[in-house]
Amino acid sequence: MAASSPIAGDSTIPRAIHILVVLTVLTIVASACTQTATPASSSAPSAAASGGSTATKRTITVIANWGGGERAAFQKVIDAFTAKTGIPVNYEQSRQLEALVRTRVAGGNPPDIIFDSRPGAIAEFAKAGNLIPLDEPVGKEILDPKALEAALGKSFIDLGRVDKTLYGFMFKADSKSTIWYKPPSLTALGGTTPKTIDDLYALADKYKAAGKVPFGSGGKDGWVLTDWFENIYARVATPKQYNDLFVTHKVSWTDPTVKKALGVFAKIFGTPGYFPGGAQGIVGTAFTEGIGQAFSKSPVAEMYYEGGFVGVIIGTDINKDLKAGTDYDFFTFPTVDPAFGAPITGGGDFAVMFKDSPEGRAMMQFIATKEAADIYAATGSGTPSKLVDVAKITDPIAKKLHEQVASATVFLFDGSDLAPSALGGDFLFSALQDLVLHPNEVDRIAQALENFAKTAY
Partner 1 sequence: MSRMRGHFGPWLFVAPAALLILVFIVYPTFWTMRLSLFGGLGFNFNKFVGLDNYVKLLTNDPQFLDLSKFPPGGAVVNNIFWLLVYTPAVIFVGLVVAVLADKVRYESLMKSVVFLPMAIAATAAAIIWLFVYSPDPRIGILNALLTTFVPGAEPISFTGSVDLVNPAIIVAAIWINAGFTTVVLSAALKGIPVEIIEAARVDGATGPQVFARIQIPMLAPTISVVAVTMIIYVIKVFDLIYVMGGNNGGPLGSARVVAFSQYVETFNNGRAGYGSAIAVIMLLVVLPFILLNVKRFRAEAGR
Contact 142, 358 (CB under 8 A): no
Site residues for partner 1, window 410-439 (CB under 8 A)? 420-422, 425-427, 429-430, 433-434, 437
Binding mask 143-182 for partner 1 (x = CB under 8 A): ----------------------------------------
Q: Which of 112, 174, 221, 417 binds partner 1 (CB under 8 A)?
A: 221
Residue (202 or 422) nearer to partner 1, CB:
422
Q: Which residue in the set 105, 202, 210, 300 belongs to the binding site for partner 1 (CB under 8 A)?
A: 300
Distance of CA 297 to the CA centre of its chain: 29
**Counting contacts by CB under 8 A, is residue 202 touching partner 1?**
no
Determine how many CB atoms are found less than 10 A away from the CB of residue 358. 12
Q: Is 12 in the site for partner 1 (CB under 8 A)?
A: no
Shortest distance, CB of residue 17 to partner 1, whole angstroms?
9
By DSSP bridging, strand 165-166 and strand 161-162 are antiparallel
Nearer residue to partner 1 within complex by CB, 145 or 425 = 425
| Contact pattern for partner 1 over residues 236 through 275, marking x by CB under 8 A | ----------------------------------------
Helix (H) or strand (E) holding 35: helix 5-51
- How many amino acids of this chain bind partner 1 (CB under 8 A)? 29
Distance CA 26, CA 22 (A): 6
Indicate the residue among 273 and 396 with the shorter CB distance to partner 1. 273
Residue among 10 and 53 whose Cβ is closer to partner 1: 10
Residues listed for the chain: 457
Cα dihedral sign, 122-367-62-354: negative
**Nearest to residue 61, comparing CAs of 374, 365, 352?**
352
Give 387's contacts (C-beta < 8 A, 6+ positions apart). 150, 151, 369, 370, 373, 374
Q: Contact, 276 vs 291, CB < 8 A? A: no
Strands, E assignment, 278-437: 303-305, 329-332, 344-353, 411-413
| DSSP designation for 143 | S
Cβ at position 285, least distance to partner 1 in Å = 7
Window of 30-38, 175-183, 276-284, 332-340 that interacts with partner 1 by CB under 8 A:
276-284
Chain residues in the site for partner 1 (CB under 8 A): 13, 220-222, 276-278, 280-286, 298, 300, 420-422, 425-427, 429-430, 433-434, 437, 448, 455
